[in-house]
Amino acid sequence: MARAVTTNRKIITSAAAWTIALIIFFPIFWTILTSFKTEAQAINDPPLFFNFDWTLENYAIVQERSDYMKFLWNSVIVAGGSTLLGILIAIPAAWSMAFVPSKRTKDILLWMLSTKMLPAVGVLYPISLIFVEFNLLDTRGGLIVVLMLINLPIIVWMLYTYFREIPGEILEAARMDGATLKEEILYVLTPMAVPGIASTVLLNFILAWNEAFWTLNLTAANAAPLTAFIASYSSPEGLFFAKLSAASTMAIAPILILGWFSQKQLVRGLTFGAVK
Amino acid sequence: MKDRLQEWVPRLVLAPSFLLVLLFVYGFILYTGYLSMTDSRMLPSYGFVGLENYQKLFALRHWNTALTNLAIFGILYILISSLLGLFLAILLDQKIRAEGLIRPIYLYPMALSFIVTGTAWKWFLDPGIGLENVMQQWGWENFEFNWIKDRDFAIYTVVLAAVWQSSGFVMAMFLAGLRGVDNEIIKAAQIDGASGFRIYRKIIIPMMRPVFLSAFVVLAHLAIKAYDLVIALTGGGPGRATELPATFMYSYTFTRNQMGIGASSAIIMLIMIFSIIVPYLYSELKSGEQK
């Protein structure tokens, strides 16, 4: 709202907004802070803020004890792989809906998008039965396919909204110049669509990275990504808070960075387009 | 020949995505629905038993606990997140300093997996080392906050954590709505002498009805699907006091090998979600046609 606000009010509201921001950020801050403490310091009375000897030993111990890098690598492969596969399948579909729309395009789009709202438990049995049948349990390949399928509607729809912003005349001009469909998509559309594709990749990577239901239920020791790792590490009695914090910090670090750049896409994707 | 190809290619390239979603979502849901009417236990079995599993399901104490929890959790979660989100949006709408820095911070909880941030919450909520302990250290010796260990109150800690996770995200939805309101209308109201609060209450908020509806649908479906929150925070405990339908479905069927009953609980959850999103989609489609 564009209107004059007095300086006093501005200071008060700014202070309030920042206070709330600090409260919201506190659990994340505390996790990061705790990761640099010893276990004794982590549960010290009273809690220690900055007046402790910072240590990196938790990180070393977490890596040594549970082969942290393996889980990290699984997360990267699974999130990256499912995103890549999803994008490859979705680009033609989004292209078709954006540039050669039919009467049913909007229905199909809404219908696809709505499936993302359905609970994962609805397809848990068929998926796990297929996984057992084809020996896919605890494999990265299986998980990649499942996560790709889960996020495919969002990918198609996001790409569609970005493709729609590309003027169709340019594609027509390319066609006039005798470009084949393949050339049209590869050399004309794709370069213009790169920002949109990048945004979609970013959002989907975050969604796949955070996915917990399927990673917890379909993986064990071999293919488990970080979410499953943290869940298994989580001891109820709080004896490992510093190590768990170190593991958590490493698990959220990439998202803390990616999240900063992709807030718009996050809101857009998670609200199913209600917020553009 | 080439023309016909041109005509078919768009449909052809749409097909994989369309069919994958159709098979993966609706095909598999149909199969789950079928299983829910069979006597499957550890493995699928195809003896048809009609609605027997549903009768058994609703006679189960644990399922009813899960439903009650969902009702408590869902109502409080949607209500508090919406109010808080609206409040934060109005706050940020006041030309805050460094708004660009604050927004991502508000959104962070939603961007991070709760499986991970749940650790910090467990720490805060633990009476021995968390908030209760700190307050007692600071002199409030009678301060008690052991909800997470209390059967009757543990579900409220799930609400607390869920509200923390989503408020900033709801804020973003509302803020977009606020910014979408026509400035001319606001200016006119100001000239008429309306105060800031009245402008929000009488003009802006009523205009944001579609945003409220979207927020409701998004939050409601998140509530029904809630899984990792509970797993990370309480694991469904103490006892089974914080079980929600999604965790019930998983724990009951995989630890007790009751596939038929588990499938019926999944179908009930699906029906709940459908009853929320179908009217919403229908209204979306209708408003789309009017444009």
**3-state SS assignment for residue A168:** helix
Of residues A68 and B61, more confidence is placed in B61
Within a 10 A sphere around the Cβ of A49, how many other Cβ atoms?
8
Q: Are A97 and A161 within 8 A, CB to CB?
A: no
With CB atoms and an 8 Å threshold, state whether B18 touches A28: no
Mean pLDDT of A156-164: 88
- Residues above pLDDT 70, as percent of chain A: 93
Q: What is the DSSP string of chain B?
A: -HHHHHHHHHHHHHHHHHHHHIIIIIIHHHHHHHHTTB--SSS----B-TTHHHHHHHH-HHHHHHHHHHHHHHHHHHHHHHHHHHHHHHHHTTT-TTHHHHHHHHHHHHHS-HHHHHHHHHHHH-TTTSHHHHHHHTT-TT----GGG-TTTHHHHHHHHHHHHHHHHHHHHHHHHHHHS-HHHHHHHHHTT--HHHIIIIIIHHHTHHHHHHHHHHHHHHHHH--HHHHHHTTT-STTTT--HHHHHHHHHHHHT-HHHHHHHHHHHHHHHHHHHHHHHHHHHHHHHH-
Residue A37 DSSP one-character state: S
pLDDT digits (tens, 9 = 90+) for B164-218: 999 988 998 898 888 888 778 888 888 888 777 888 888 888 888 888 888 898 8
Looking at residue A276, what is its pLDDT? Answer: 53
Q: Is the pLDDT of residue B286 over 80?
A: no
Which DSSP string do the residues of A178-246 spell out, in sequence order? T--HHHIIIIIIHHHHHHHHHHHHHHHHHHHHH--HHHHHH--SSS--HHHHHHHH--TT-TTHHHHHH
For residue B49, give every residue at least 6 positions away whose Cβ sits within 8 Å of its Cβ, in sequence order, or none: B37, B38, B39, B260
Q: What is the CATH number of domain B57-290?
A: 1.10.3720.10
Question: Using CA atoms, how far apart are residues A240 and A238, in angstroms rounded to an integer?
Answer: 5
pLDDT by residue (tens digit) across A191-212? Answer: 888 888 988 998 899 889 988 8
- Classify residue A259: in a domain, yes or no: no
Task: Judge contact between B123 and B130, C-beta under 8 A.
Answer: yes
Measure the CA–CA gap between B4 and B217, rounded to whole angstroms.
42
Distance CA B106, CA A151 (A): 24
CATH of the domain at A82: 1.10.3720.10
Compute the average pLDDT of residues A7-21. 85
Stretch A172-177: mean pLDDT = 83
Q: Identify the band that residue A62 occupies on the pLDDT scale cut at 50, 70 and 90.
A: confident
Regarding predicted confidence, which is higher, B236 or A76?
Answer: A76
- Chain B CA closest to residue A250: B116
Taking an 8 Å cut-off on Cβ atoms, the answer to whether A14 and B97 are in contact is: yes
Q: Say yes or no for a CB contact (<8 Å) between A5 and B94.
A: yes
Considering chain B, what percentage of its residues have pLDDT values greater than 70? 96
ipTM of the complex: 0.83
The C-alpha angle with vertex A117 and arms to A114 and A121, in degrees rounded to 5, equals 130
Which one, of A252, A79, A113, lies nearest residue B221 by Cα? A113
pLDDT confidence of residue A145: 93
Per-chain mean pLDDT for chain A: 83
Percent over 90 (pLDDT), chain A:
16
> Over the stretch B82-99, which tens digit does the pLDDT of each residue have?
999 999 998 888 877 788
Interface mutation target, options A48, A118, A156, A206, chain B, most CBs of B under 10 Å: A118
- A237 band by pLDDT with thresholds 50, 70 and 90: very low
Yes or no, beta carbons of A31 and B270 under 8 Å apart: no
CB contact under 8 A, B28 and A127: yes
Q: How far apart are CA B255 and CA B242, in angstroms?
A: 17
Question: What's the pLDDT tens digit per position in B136-153?
Answer: 777 777 777 778 878 888
Name the residue type at position B87: F
**What's CA B169's distance to the chain center, in Å?**
12
Which residues of chain A does B273 touch, with a Cβ-Cβ cutoff of 8 Å?
117-119
- Which tokens belong to B132? 């209760």
Helices B154-180 and B61-92 sit at what angle, rounded to 10 degrees? 40
Work out the percent of chain B whose per-residue pLDDT is above 90: 27
Question: CB of B275 within 8 A of CB of B58?
Answer: no
Q: Which domain, by its residues, includes A131?
A: 67-232
Burial of A227 (0-12, 13-18, 19+ CB in 10 A): buried
| Token reading at A190 | 């794709």
Kindly state the average pLDDT of the residues A95-114.
84
pLDDT tens by residue, A118-148: 888 888 889 988 998 898 888 899 999 999 9
Q: pLDDT digit string (tens) for A245-261?
A: 888 888 888 888 888 88
Substitution target in B12, B22, B94, B119 with the highest count of A β-carbons within 10 Å is B119
Contacts with A58 from chain B: Cβ below 8 Å? none
Is residue A153 domain-resident? yes
Per the structure, the count of domains in chain A is 1
Nearest to B73 by CA among B249, B243, B269: B243
Whose structure tokens read 């046609």? B289
Q: What is the pLDDT of residue B288?
A: 61
Q: Which residue of A has its CA nearest to B87?
A: A17
In whole angstroms, give the CA distance from residue B105 to residue B94: 17
B47 or B59: which leads in pLDDT = B59
- CB contacts of B13 in chain A (<8 Å) are 92-93, 95-96
pLDDT attached to residue A4: 52
Beta carbons of A199 and A268 less than 8 angstroms apart: no
Distance from CA of B144 to the nearest CA of A (A): 16
pTM: 0.87
Residues in a beta bridge with B48: B38
- pLDDT exceeds 60 at position A236: no
A245 contacts B119 by C-beta, under 8 angstroms? yes
Which residues are registered as beta bridge partners of B38?
B48
Q: Closest residue of B to A111, CA-based?
A: B281
| pLDDT reported for residue A235 | 55
- State which amino acid sits at residue B181: V
